[in-house]
Structure 1
């Protein structure tokens, strides 16, 4: 059962043992080959010349004594093959057993950090996602893996926190019109003197609230779809799309007395035309609605350093630099107004669409008040055209 619980450790142990046994066997073969080659290369020793025969002394009867026969050492140079092979094989078997034991210990030592990380990861959930592995020791492959997992947990914690804030803000934004709708429905029922004009007025307000809530739901769906990626890529001319968007909003800009200036270089970028159109709509609406009477709106599409840079700038209220990043979060506005027709999702949708298209989004306060937003798209070779034109609309 213990071996089944540690299959990787068992595999490493068998691998260590196999390497050790094979190395020992190869070493024995090399030693046997060297010994054999040495035996074959040594020349035979010359035998000593026997001394001259000496007549043995005669006995008393005059008969010579028998000549002694020289003794032969038959054991010299004979290899005991059975004993010479048995002992190395026994040593090899003992080495295999020792290798198994040492391999098990070494595999356990190597895999100990992995087991520690696995146990800690099993204990981490959405309630304690702030915890980290924090594997101690010097930098190794396993510590790099642990640090990578810690970075992933950090990004996951940030995403979960943003998701919780998004859900809470969305619930608040949806709860407010529901409360107002209930009050408008109860008002004529409670008032015994309510007439047809009262019901009509309440119904008109209900229709306006319902329309704004539909816009909110549409914005939420757009934000969700843009965060999950884009559809099929088409070559979209940002200059034409920007000019069309501003032309559609020219009456509103003229009504507010705004001066709109554009500098457009034709440049096509790969992307989803619907999402890119929504990005421009949100940027232009933000520049027009959050402006001052007699202010300016500047839009440009330029090619620089291998990128297509879309810039939309507007005058308006001065924005503290530390509040710029907060404006791109869902349901965040510089000054929260209960019933201004805006939900604080425009710039967050812009950021999500830019991220889905691999673009870099930067923003900073305008020197005269207002905001400057830049979206830099990667430039595709062969997707640009020569020429530029300036369009100025006065209001």
Structure 2
């Protein structure tokens, strides 16, 4: 018998006729409250009637005998009162239970509607929404919250689908190329040692590119999982290390590096924070123009640690900036490149920043290139007063000094980089 797999997005909800439903509990609560209240009222009435005194006006001198005759009558009246009140209470309890069932059903009707709609939602129609109308009450707030959750889930599923498709494409392309190279070499009857060596070198380069891709994917996955540790670090130290690592490649590409490094302490995973800054600088160096420049700055202000990376380069449309932080998305719609960069650098930056609770602000520069600002939460230091952030800050740029070895200044820094 084939196994039927359940959609993980489809909830498993017990039938509505279960005795443990909210409607049944509310009905039982209404009935119990009415029965207890009625029993208390009946008890009080009975006790008051029992304590009541009968006044006998004696006109014949036989008052004592009259009292003895009235005593059984009083007990009979109390007994009749108790029986009649009990019957009335039982009838009213039944009526209250019926009314409680109807009222509970009316109150919970929007909840049943939401339940039925959610049961129909799966991975294939996650775009559907509850869209509950009515007064702004708890049910409406719950429906709006569920709609917001479904919206975020739809966005996450779409991003996951794109990521899987792009990752499969990125991994399949080098495998196809490797297979083609091997088949070409094996079918070549005139192959020589030199041709075998050339093929081996190409296969080695392809495997190195695959290793870089897998390492980037693992880094992205580990960043999205969150932080496993919290350690203090200084963005200025990490920026210096990243600048030193990027210097040779920047010189080879004719890109000048400028830095304005001041202490910017924060806390989190130093290795991931260092990868964030390194990816920003690496992206700025690679997506640049000959003779261009990259400016890096760190600072602590208003209780947060800032790092800026600004670079010259091709003109970027403002609508494309957000897409550049998606996995495998590159400027101009390309998704692969032969230099080992697969469009994961800024995706890793965003994942690491999110894990650290940092905010990212990125915008295209009018003259070309990109400006990225990331603010980390600064660790709380007892007794330390951070500079107050002005109410209306004026856009300005840091004084940029060439990162050693010194080079000439690139000219006036554009005001697009907000400090």
What is the TM-score with the length of structure 1 in the denominator?
0.85
Residue 315 of structure 1, CA deviation: 0.6
What does 1:155-170 align with in structure 2 at a 5 Å threshold?
155-170=152-167
- C-alpha contact 1:236 1:268 (8 A) present in aligned 2: yes
Residue 226 of structure 1, CA deviation: 0.4
What does 1:303-382 align with in structure 2 at a 5 Å threshold?
303-335=300-332, 336=334, 338-382=337-381
The CA deviation string for residues 338-392 of structure 1, in whole angstroms up to 9 with x for no partner, is: 4232100000000000001100111001233111111111121229899x99752
What does 1:223-262 align with in structure 2 at a 5 Å threshold?
223-262=220-259
Larger Rg: 1
1:59 corresponds to: none
- C-alpha contact 1:264 1:390 (8 A) present in aligned 2: no
Residue 262 of structure 1, CA deviation: 1.3
The CA deviation string for residues 36-74 of structure 1, in whole angstroms up to 9 with x for no partner, is: 78x56x9x69889x9xxxxxxxxxxxxxxxxxx9xx998
1:19 corresponds to: 33
Number of residue pairs the alignment of both structures matches: 370
The CA deviation string for residues 295-333 of structure 1, in whole angstroms up to 9 with x for no partner, is: 111111111222111111111111111110011000011
Higher relative CO (Cα under 8 Å, sequence separation at least 6) belongs to 1
Distance 1:237 1:11, change over 3 A: same
- C-alpha contact 1:266 1:385 (8 A) present in aligned 2: no
Residue 30 of structure 1, CA deviation: 4.6
Residue 267 of structure 1, CA deviation: 2.3
Q: Which of 113, 117, 129 lines up with 1:116 in the alignment? A: 113
1:263 corresponds to: 260
Residue 152 of structure 1, CA deviation: 0.9
The CA deviation string for residues 255-287 of structure 1, in whole angstroms up to 9 with x for no partner, is: 323222211221221111111111111111011
- C-alpha contact 1:120 1:133 (8 A) present in aligned 2: yes
2:12 corresponds to: none
- Separation in structure 2 between the aligned mates of residue 125 and residue 241 of structure 1, nearest angstrom: 45
Distance 1:333 1:385, change over 3 A: farther
1:28 aligns with 2:28: no
Residue 193 of structure 1, CA deviation: 2.2
- Separation in structure 1 between the aligned mates of residue 117 and residue 385 of structure 2, nearest angstrom: 56
- C-alpha contact 2:50 2:78 (8 A) present in aligned 1: no
- Separation in structure 2 between the aligned mates of residue 251 and residue 128 of structure 1, nearest angstrom: 51
The CA deviation string for residues 216-265 of structure 1, in whole angstroms up to 9 with x for no partner, is: 01001110110111221100111011011101222222232322221122
- Separation in structure 1 between the aligned mates of residue 243 and residue 148 of structure 2, nearest angstrom: 42
What does 1:127-142 align with in structure 2 at a 5 Å threshold?
127-142=124-139
- C-alpha contact 2:46 2:81 (8 A) present in aligned 1: no
- Separation in structure 1 between the aligned mates of residue 312 and residue 339 of structure 2, nearest angstrom: 19
- Separation in structure 2 between the aligned mates of residue 191 and residue 209 of structure 1, nearest angstrom: 21
- C-alpha contact 1:24 1:92 (8 A) present in aligned 2: yes
What is the TM-score with the length of structure 2 in the denominator?
0.80
Distance 1:153 1:81, change over 3 A: same
Return 5+ residue gaps in structure 2 as ranges.
1-14, 387-397, 408-419
Secondary structure at the counterpart of residue 110 of structure 1: helix
Secondary structure at the counterpart of residue 99 of structure 1: helix
Residue 290 of structure 1, CA deviation: 1.1
- C-alpha contact 2:256 2:293 (8 A) present in aligned 1: yes
1:392 corresponds to: 402
What does 1:147-296 align with in structure 2 at a 5 Å threshold?
147-296=144-293
- C-alpha contact 2:325 2:346 (8 A) present in aligned 1: yes
Return 5+ residue gaps in structure 1 as ranges.
51-68
- C-alpha contact 1:246 1:284 (8 A) present in aligned 2: yes
